[in-house]
Amino acid sequence: MLNASFFVLFFVVFAFVDDDDFAPRRGANEEEHEEEKEVVVKRLLVLMMFFCFTKVPPWWCAPRSIVFSLVDSTTTKRVALGENESNRSTVISDASRIKVNGERTVTRAPHKHAQNAKMGGPLPKSKTSQCSCVPFGGRKQEGVSFEGVILSNAQFECTIYAFGAHVASWRSLSDLEVFKTKPEFLFVSKKAILDGTKPIRGGIPICFPQFGKLGECTNQHGFARNATWAFVGSEVDEEKVLAKATFTLSSTEKTMKEFPYKFKLNYTVSIEKEFLNTKLEVINEDEKAFEFTTALHTYFGAKSITDIAVKGLNGVRYTDSLEDGKKCVEGEEEIRFDKEVDRIYRRNVALVDKERLEIIDRVWEDKGVLSQHTRGVAMTTKNLNDAVVWNPWIDKAKSMGDFGDEEYKEMVCVEAAAIDEPVKVKPGASWIGEQTLEAVINLAHFSV
- Which residues are marked as active site? 297, 415
| Backbone angles phi and psi of 345, in degrees to 5 | -90, 135
Nearest to 245, CA basis, from 233, 237, 229, 228: 233
- Between helix 2-16 and helix 30-52 the angle, nearest 10°, is 160
State the virtual CA torsion across 154, 158, 159, 161 in degrees, nearest 10: -130
Within 10 A of 230 (CB to CB), how many other CB atoms are there? 15
**263-286 residues labelled b (16+ CB within 10 A) or e (exposed):** bebbbbbbbbebbbbbbbbbbbeb
* Alpha-helix runs per DSSP H in 269-404: 349-354, 393-399
E-assigned strand segments in 251-331: 263-272, 275-284, 290-296, 299-301, 308-311, 317-320, 326-329
User: Residue 42 carries which side chain, given as an amino acid letter?
Assistant: K
Q: Dihedral sign, CA of 183, 189, 191, 197?
A: negative
Strand-pairing partners, residue 412, are: 300
> Quick one: which of 98, 436, 94 has its CA closest to 238?
98
Is-contact 317 328, C-beta < 8 A? yes
Q: Do 215 and 255 contact (CB within 8 A), yes or no?
A: no
